[in-house]
Chain A
Amino acid sequence: MCGIIGVIDRTMSRMDGSSIKRALSLMDERGSGEGAGYVAYGIYPDYPDCYAIHVFFDNLLEPKSTVDRILQTWGRIAHQEEIPTYDQPGLKKEHIPWRYFFKPYTDLMVGTTSPADDTVKHIVMAINSTVEGALVFSSGINLGVFKAAGWPEDVANFYRIEDYKGYIWLAHNRYPTNTPGWWGGAHPFNLLDWAVVHNGEITSYGTNRRYVESNGYKCTMSTDTEVVAYLFDLLGRRHGLPSEIVVGALAPPFWDEIDEMPQKQEEFMRVLRLTYGPALMNGPFAIVVATKDGIVGFTDRIKLRPLVVGEKGPLLYISSEEAAIRVMDPDIESIYMPRAGEPVVGRVMV
């Protein structure tokens, strides 16, 4: 299976990627050297109002010109460049990682209250489902995903993630079963402001996928984790549910527990489950989701995957293994294991 770790500094102090690289490398046993990745929030302060669109190009000819054209149709490219990479002996460069800093026009999309986000979501879905040789793997503001097929330290060194400073970091070490060796299949998955790292397998994927597709998302990554990002985007952003309630929809209490709740809470949970039945996630999973406002970690309803939480002052860590947390922070103050389905939330304090 896989290893995950996430950290947030709730005061928004930024930390570089070196310590999370060490933490993830400690969990090499959990991976297979076929995928690793990092996401960091707060890394592009120079472009505070641009969507940072990270794309894997197979070449810089047709795919890139098509993506350029799509972006220019829907908005303005403030800046673009190849993401700096550094050859690693153990990592074969399969794609050219590229980044655009993009400002969508907000008057082109109708029928939405968040035209910028919905425009970017539309662009991501369009590129990923129609443009051969291009894959958008990161599309949020002031955040970036860095991932590839390889061991955690190789991927980190390939991107030199210690050069980036963020107040939230998530990292993932992959043992793939579905799409080994594919860069797009590595975590974190990201859409707009949502990033997800996931350990496990979602047995309800078919149902969840149909539900997000029914709501205008296209699953293009051939793996189950991307639906988590879309579910959070749908429930969290578009339906406006707070993270704890999103988790309550994705990993709800059992009916016999709901039946025992006080009347008001019982009604709330019943409505939540009925409304979001197709969003319920089944199977073994431990997941950490991030947005610019914080992170939330949770496991499946019967705790089939491990998850450990550590806290020290403004720092909150969520990981598959306690050791990984202690590598990052030897002076960690409290360590505990959350209950199944219980959301662990770390919000930025502003």
Chain B
Amino acid sequence: MSLGSVPLKYRISIDRDQCMKCMRCVDNCSYGVYRLENDRILIDSRKCTACHRCISMCPRDAIMLQEKPVDYRSHPLWTVEAREDIINQARTGKIILAGMGNAIDYPIIFDRLVLDACQVTNPSIDPLREPMELRTYLGKKPAKMEFTKNNGDVELKTKLSPNLKLDTPIMIGHMSYGAISLNAQLSLAKAVAKTGTFMGTGEGGMHEAIYPYQDHTIVQIASGRFGVDINYLERGAAIEIKIGQGAKPGIGGHLPGEKVCSDVSCTRMIPMGSDAISPAPHHDIYSIEDLAQLVRSLKEATNWEKPVFVKIAAVHNVAAIAAGIARSSADAVVIDGFRGGTGAAPKVFRDNVGIPIEAAVAAVDQKLNDQGIRNQVSVIASGGIRNSADLAKSIALGADAVYIGTAALIALGCRVCGNCYRGMCPWGIATQKPELVQRIDPELGSQHVANLIHAWTLELSELMGAAGLNSIESLRGNRERLRGYMLDEGLLNVLKVGSVGA
């Protein structure tokens, strides 16, 4: 019995009057939508992923794309997606894998929060004329300053733990070499070096092309320990232990053997073509004291010269977990919300497990504050930060800094088509195919990413100036400068934010 085919996701059409058969679409589409036959460009719409590569390259704007060109009988419960997933699983009996972040239409809390500005009782500050401080230090801070007094002279006793110094509170999150291409990673690395901030290496080790920018990297150690040796740990400006990821909390991941090319194999230190499996837990961490042990082990190995971050997915009990981490020797807690991106995740996890970053970061900030240790550890928010407003709101909800991932990839061309797991990314980002990877010029790519960071930084300065703040410390956790718009009381209480008008 045949289940038949499901309808096209997208229909591509060409305005034949406009088309000059320049062949750019044929050359650019790595999925094989276009082919030339008998001097005519033929289209196989079924292969289209809506990556827009052809559209962006067409000099005549001759290509049209229509989403869901075939209607189903509409039904509020049995959505098209629900029906098609069932057909897929009936056919295969397998777990559905999907790319990019959570694709369910949950309300976006960021869009229900509004920022404040000064009127009369305090002046706005113009960041173009007046000082505006976005410098952010990530790492452990002392609870109080220790000093000695010698006849009037105050002598500092406190020795500060190593902190990362950021010129702007925007960092680029961990996307491993393997998940993304070397040219993509190189673009990001050059961009953070230009903008005085940091990027995560992901769990795939560090390719030697990144070495010149290693002072701007945070090296990640995940459960698979890929590419982890003492040299790698010493290269990073900081080390991050990845416990979980917002897109797929509670499960591991694996890079399929076909993506483990010779360079990826070198960097990960595994044989070519072998699956790179990251187990769900770190098998030397089955409890919080084991985490503390790994944190200290990493510090011990690197002579206590590197801050160690711990990244967790935002799950229900995130605040208590973060508080436990804060009381280890960890210098920062990274919270990855359920909208965090990924190259591939089981769809059921991506769409249903975890909580939004807004609530998670507010709850963590509150818990640490209640325990009197908020300023002693840094909090980094990630997972679905789209613009400088999300950034400002994250900081007002209690983050020290944010990681961006998808936003940085969009700056490299990504159109969020969500087919990263197929390894054929026509933008040269989520692929290891040399002919696709070379589509990214790291110099140009880095400029785009640096532009984005720079633009958000400017906007953040403007937002702060309008709120009468000239230092990022004064925005951090400052719930007075946020109001909830159409949020329910329970959520307002979690966010510790008042309602608009209140």
Q: Do chains A and B touch in the complex (CB under 8 A)?
A: yes
Q: Is B122 within 8 A of A207, CB to CB?
A: no
- What 1/0 flags go to A276-319 for Cβ under 8 Å of B? 11101111100000000000000001101000000000000000
- What 1/0 flags go to B469-501 for Cβ under 8 Å of A? 111011111111100000000000000000000
Check A254 for interface membership: any CB of B closer than 8 A: yes
- Chain A's closest residue to B497 (CB) is A206
List, in ascending order, chain A residues with CB within 8 A of B211's CB. none
6 intermolecular pairs with C-beta atoms under 8 Å apart: A1-B121, A200-B122, A205-B480, A207-B476, A275-B145, A280-B473
Q: How far is the CA of A239 from the CA of B474 in the complex (A)?
A: 21
Check B144 for interface membership: any CB of A closer than 8 A: yes
Q: Is A282 within 8 A of B158, CB to CB?
A: no
Q: Is A207 within 8 A of B158, CB to CB?
A: no
Q: How far is the CA of A85 from the CA of B478 in the complex (A)?
A: 40
- Chain A's closest residue to B139 (CB) is A274
Q: Is A271 within 8 A of B145, CB to CB?
A: yes
Q: Is B122 within 8 A of A277, CB to CB?
A: no
Partner of B156, one of A238, A255, A267: A267
Stretch of A6-14, A149-157, A208-216, A328-336 with 4 or more beta carbons under 8 angstroms from chain B: A208-216
List, in ascending order, chain A residues with CB within 8 A of B371's CB. 214
Check A80 for interface membership: any CB of B closer than 8 A: no
Return A276 CB to nearest CB of chain B, in Å: 7
List, in ascending order, chain B residues with CB within 8 A of A256's CB. 131
Check A77 for interface membership: any CB of B closer than 8 A: no
Return A282 CB to nearest CB of chain B, in Å: 4
Which B residues contact A (CB, under 8 angstroms)?
A: 118, 121-123, 125, 130-131, 133, 135, 137, 141-145, 147, 149, 154, 156, 158, 160, 163, 365, 369-372, 374-375, 396, 467-471, 473-481
Further 15 A-B residue pairs, CB within 8 A, beyond A203-B118, A203-B481, A277-B141: A210-B374, A214-B372, A239-B144, A242-B149, A267-B156, A271-B158, A274-B160, A275-B144, A275-B158, A280-B474, A282-B474, A284-B468, A301-B470, A302-B130, A304-B122
Return B154 CB to nearest CB of chain A, in Å: 7
Which A residues contact B (CB, under 8 angstroms)?
A: 1, 177, 200-201, 203-207, 209-211, 213-216, 238-239, 241-242, 245, 254-256, 264, 267-268, 270-278, 280-284, 301-302, 304
The answer to whether residues A271 and B142 also contact, given A278-B476, A283-B122 and a CB cut-off of 8 A, is yes
Return B363 CB to nearest CB of chain A, in Å: 14
Partner of A213, one of B130, B369, B481: B369
Q: How far is the CA of A52 from the CA of B471 in the complex (A)?
A: 38
Partner of A284, one of B123, B160, B481: B123
Q: Is A282 within 8 A of B471, CB to CB?
A: yes
List, in ascending order, chain A residues with CB within 8 A of B473's CB. 204, 207, 273, 277-278, 280
- Chain A's closest residue to B159 (CB) is A271
List, in ascending order, chain A residues with CB within 8 A of B480's CB. 205-206, 209
Q: Is A283 within 8 A of B133, CB to CB?
A: no
Q: Is B137 within 8 A of A274, CB to CB?
A: yes
List, in ascending order, chain A residues with CB within 8 A of B372's CB. 214-216
List, in ascending order, chain B residues with CB within 8 A of A205's CB. 478, 480
- Chain B's closest residue to A175 (CB) is B121
List, in ascending order, chain B residues with CB within 8 A of A177's CB. 121
List, in ascending order, chain B residues with CB within 8 A of A264's CB. 156
Partner of B160, one of A207, A216, A270: A270
Q: Looking at chain B's contact residues, is the secondary structure mostly helix, strand, loop, or mixed?
A: loop
Q: Is B154 within 8 A of A242, CB to CB?
A: yes
Return B443 CB to nearest CB of chain A, in Å: 30
List, in ascending order, chain A residues with CB within 8 A of B369's CB. 210-211, 213-214
Q: Is B142 within 8 A of A282, CB to CB?
A: no
Q: Is B131 within 8 A of A272, CB to CB?
A: no
Q: How far is the CA of A5 from the CA of B374 in the complex (A)?
A: 36
Q: Is B144 within 8 A of A282, CB to CB?
A: no
List, in ascending order, chain A residues with CB within 8 A of B145's CB. 239, 241, 271-272, 275-276
Return A287 CB to nearest CB of chain B, in Å: 14
Q: How far is the CA of A301 from the CA of B122 in the complex (A)?
A: 14
Q: Is B123 within 8 A of A254, CB to CB?
A: no
Q: Is A207 within 8 A of B125, CB to CB?
A: no
Q: How far is the CA of A301 from the CA of B470 in the complex (A)?
A: 9
Q: How far is the CA of A268 from the CA of B147 in the complex (A)?
A: 10
- Chain B's closest residue to A255 (CB) is B135
Partner of B375, one of A254, A268, A278, A281: A278
Q: Is A204 within 8 A of B131, CB to CB?
A: no
List, in ascending order, chain B residues with CB within 8 A of A273's CB. 473
- Chain B's closest residue to A201 (CB) is B122
Q: Is B123 within 8 A of A304, CB to CB?
A: yes
Closest 3 CB pairs of A and B: A206-B480, A204-B474, A206-B478
Q: Is B125 within 8 A of A302, CB to CB?
A: yes
Q: Is A271 within 8 A of B160, CB to CB?
A: yes
Q: Is B481 within 8 A of A283, CB to CB?
A: no
List, in ascending order, chain B residues with CB within 8 A of A272's CB. 145
Partner of A254, one of B133, B141, B163, B467: B133
Q: How far is the CA of A108 from the CA of B440 in the complex (A)?
A: 69
Specify which of A210, A211, A215, A280 lies most central, judged by the most chain B CB atoms within 10 Å of its CB: A210
List, in ascending order, chain B residues with CB within 8 A of A200's CB. 122
Return A148 CB to nearest CB of chain B, in Å: 22
Return B174 CB to nearest CB of chain A, in Å: 25
List, in ascending order, chain A residues with CB within 8 A of B479's CB. 206, 210
Specify which of A201, A203, A216 lies most central, judged by the most chain B CB atoms within 10 Å of its CB: A203
Q: Is A206 within 8 A of B130, CB to CB?
A: no
Return B118 CB to nearest CB of chain A, in Å: 7
List, in ascending order, chain A residues with CB within 8 A of B471's CB. 204, 280, 282, 301
List, in ascending order, chain B residues with CB within 8 A of A215's CB. 372
List, in ascending order, chain B residues with CB within 8 A of A210's CB. 365, 369, 374, 477-479
Q: Is A214 within 8 A of B141, CB to CB?
A: no
Q: Is A203 within 8 A of B142, CB to CB?
A: no
List, in ascending order, chain A residues with CB within 8 A of B156's CB. 264, 267-268, 271
Q: How far is the CA of A240 from the CA of B147 in the complex (A)?
A: 9
Q: How far is the CA of A123 from the CA of B429 in the complex (A)?
A: 61
Q: How far is the CA of A206 from the CA of B482 in the complex (A)?
A: 10
Specify which of B123, B130, B365, B474 lies most central, judged by the most chain A CB atoms within 10 Å of its CB: B474
List, in ascending order, chain B residues with CB within 8 A of A207's CB. 473-478
Return B179 CB to nearest CB of chain A, in Å: 34
List, in ascending order, chain B residues with CB within 8 A of A242's CB. 149, 154
Q: Is B141 within 8 A of A283, CB to CB?
A: no
The answer to whether residues A282 and B476 also contact, given A254-B133, A267-B156 and a CB cut-off of 8 A, is no
Q: How far is the CA of A7 from the CA of B250 in the complex (A)?
A: 63
Q: How far is the CA of A324 from the CA of B432 in the complex (A)?
A: 75
Q: How far is the CA of A216 from the CA of B149 in the complex (A)?
A: 27
Return B248 CB to nearest CB of chain A, in Å: 32
List, in ascending order, chain B residues with CB within 8 A of A278's CB. 374-375, 473, 476-477
List, in ascending order, chain A residues with CB within 8 A of B475's CB. 207
Specify which of A209, A216, A277 lies most central, judged by the most chain B CB atoms within 10 Å of its CB: A277
- Chain B's closest residue to A281 (CB) is B474
List, in ascending order, chain A residues with CB within 8 A of B477's CB. 206-207, 210, 278
List, in ascending order, chain B residues with CB within 8 A of A216's CB. 372
List, in ascending order, chain A residues with CB within 8 A of B130's CB. 302
Partner of A203, one of B144, B147, B365, B467: B467
Q: How far is the CA of A1 from the CA of B143 in the complex (A)?
A: 35
Q: Is A203 within 8 A of B135, CB to CB?
A: no
- Chain A's closest residue to B140 (CB) is A274
Q: How far is the CA of A277 from the CA of B473 in the complex (A)?
A: 6
Q: Is A302 within 8 A of B122, CB to CB?
A: no
List, in ascending order, chain B residues with CB within 8 A of A268's CB. 154, 156
List, in ascending order, chain B residues with CB within 8 A of A203's CB. 118, 122, 467-469, 474, 481
